Chain A
Amino acid sequence: MRNEYISRRGGMATTSAWSRNQNTVRHTGKRLGKVSTTAIFGLMVLIVGLIYATQGVKATTYDYELSEIDEQVADLQARKEDLAVEKARLTSTQTAASSEVAVNMPDGQVSGYAKE
């Protein structure tokens, strides 16, 4: 039911009695029909459903983004490990011993020790 307030000031009123209390209203009641109620209820269900569906899709979208980021992290981590392996190879004693510089380097000779 809907309350509606209708001014009693009629457009044709010219008497002073009316002009003394121009804000008086008449209280009347109106009911929605069955069709309107069903339609409104249906709309509300639809809106709630849409909100639910939107949230679900949003969560799934985040999951996809998360999955992509996870893959990127794993890829970067793998590349970091590859670089660490390469670094270890380049700084290994095996590489150093077989390098051209090492091969051509003369043996060191101890020339003496400083007295403390």
Chain B
Amino acid sequence: MDKRTKALRIILVAAVALVLVRLFVIQIFEHDMWVERAEQEHVVQYTIPAERGEIYMMDGGEPTVVVMNEAVWTVIVDPMTVDEEATKKLMDEVAKDKLVAEWKDVFADKTRRYYIVAQGVKRDAAQKIREAGLTGVYLKEGNARVYPEGELASSLLGFVNNEGAGQYGVEQALNKDLAGENGVLKTVTDVNNVALSIGDDNVRVPAKNGKDVVLSVDRNIQRRLEQILAEAVAGSAATNAAGVVMDPMTGEIWALANVPTYDATKYSEIKDASVFVNTPLESAYEPGSMCKTFSFAAAIDQGKMTPATTYTNNGYLTVDNWKIENAYKGQLGTITMQTGLDYSLNTSSMTALMLLGDDASQITQKGKNKLYEYYHDKFGFGEYTDIELVEAKGYLTEPDAEDAYNSRYANMTFGQGMNITMIQLAAAFSSVINGGEYYRPTVVAGEMLENGTFNYLQAPEAVRQTVSKATSDTMRQMLYGTRSYKRTTGVDKPGYYIGGKTGTSQGIKDGAYTFDETVGNYVGFGGATKESPKYVIMVKIWGDNAKMEGEKDAMPMFDKMSDYMIDYLKIKPGES
């Protein structure tokens, strides 16, 4: 073999060896990197979005949807390539009400290649835009919440923001259940981006849709309550009102209303964020004289007094050198506790506190301990109720705290010097009139299953006994007594057992109580007979610099709502 042939052979062997080495490196050492690059070329991964669960309310015992999902499109234009006139003309024709940008702004800077011009465009309009086939006009599909009931219960329901997260109300509190879990689709695609079934690494994890939540709130009761609150606000100097209607025998909330309401589809346009607040749960305040119900119940339950117990009403009591007066200046002299409650005399509830401490002439530590035990441990004031939504805790001064002055506890007997929420008060009031059982207030009744049936989840949960059945019977009678003139004047329908208590709490301005701004409250119950309360209603009305009163402003709201509940629940008149 000549030298040239040998050299050629060596070169060939070396070249083959080089190729083999390179192949070895690619196949063995760089294997993962090349596989990854190949996958990037022809394997795509999609997120399969989970559908957000719908929200239902009750409608006479049947669930009915009040928050739904709807496919909507966002229209995006590329100012550099788009046909200005044709695009303007088309958009004005099919989606004028959905435009979110001024055309002059859109075309002001043509180097900007991406401008959102319309949002929330409906299917038909999107179809027309697509069919027009305009260059530089793009459609992006998304989902939006729909509210068939309009602004009904807006602060209870909350809304879903642009990132798809629930904010405020049910949407926020139950976001985890409602949101579900997105799925994944990983697949080989062809040049047309069509998923192909070939390939060993295809992955399909289906999306887990969110739960369809059913609230215990009845949309008819809710609407009527909102209507009554709105009428009261419109007819007074108040700017806000709130209300709760609940079943005292189960703790189920039938209505939870705030006025003013807002349009959840336009939440971003709201200037005053206070409308998002679900007042009955989230705002702790001084409830005023409605609390006499609880100081009386405590003293009766301890066997320290009866409705017929008498005391001397001088129109005021001096505690810690503070003169604490009655709002009503009459009924002086020796009167019964029933009269004290009827006229909402502060001296009567302070007397109840003194009786709790076994000394009718002064407030004692024992009396404060007992009142706190009832208020906090039994009625749950200053503690979360554990309702499913966001709620405030409130505040109650412990009897051995540094600032647990006698005067503070005297004030607490008529609902001042303490902070609680409407839901805390309504739940406690329910226990006082239902036989003494405290039910955890609940707003979630269950969920809708995929087959369209309603799965009732919540069994009534009696948490504790607050007062004895005998005390509860007595308290119903006393609260019934406070409305005697309502019966004689024909406000209360004959044949029904309706009772309640007013509350006018002073506003606080610059850290001091003021009579220039007061909050009107009322809490009451109703039913056919003394033994069968069917509903509890609590209402509150207030406003900046508005002097709202429990009797004049809040009680008429209760009266109207109570009438409605009797008709709506088809309660037949009983033997009162």
Contacts and interface: CB of A to CB of B under 8 A. Distances in A.
B65 interface: yes
A5 interface: no
Nearest to B495: A113
B68 A88 contact: yes
Secondary structure call for the A interface: helix
A110 B567 contact: yes
Secondary structure call for the B interface: mixed
Interface in A66-115: 66-67, 78-79, 81-82, 84-85, 88-89, 91-94, 97, 108, 110, 113
Nearest to B69: A81
Interface in A26-73: 56, 59-60, 62-64, 66-67
Interface string B53-80: 0000000000011101111000000000
B146 interface: yes
B376 interface: no
A92 to B, nearest CB: 4
Nearest to A78: B71
Contacts of A79: 123
Interface stretch (B99-107, B193-201, B286-294): B193-201
Contacts of B70: 81-82, 85
Contact of A113 (B194, B197, B573): B573
Interface in B101-151: 123, 146, 148-150
A61 to B, nearest CB: 11
Contacts of A84: 65, 68
B124 to A, nearest CB: 9
B255 interface: no
Given A78-B123, A92-B149, A62 B197 contact: yes
B196 A97 contact: no
B198 A97 contact: no
B380 to A, nearest CB: 33
A85 B152 contact: no
Interface residues of A, number: 24
Contacts of A78: 71, 123
A97 B71 CA distance: 27
Nearest to B570: A113
Interface in B205-245: 219-220, 223
Nearest to B188: A63
A72 B497 CA distance: 60
B65 to A, nearest CB: 5
B572 interface: yes
Contacts of B152: 93-94
B196 A63 contact: yes
B190 interface: yes
11 contacts: A60-B196, A62-B197, A82-B71, A84-B68, A85-B146, A85-B148, A88-B64, A92-B150, A94-B148, A97-B223, A113-B572
Given A84-B68, A88-B146, A92-B149, 16 more contacts: A59-B196, A60-B196, A66-B197, A79-B123, A81-B70, A88-B64, A88-B66, A88-B68, A92-B150, A93-B220, A94-B149, A94-B150, A94-B152, A94-B223, A97-B223, A113-B572
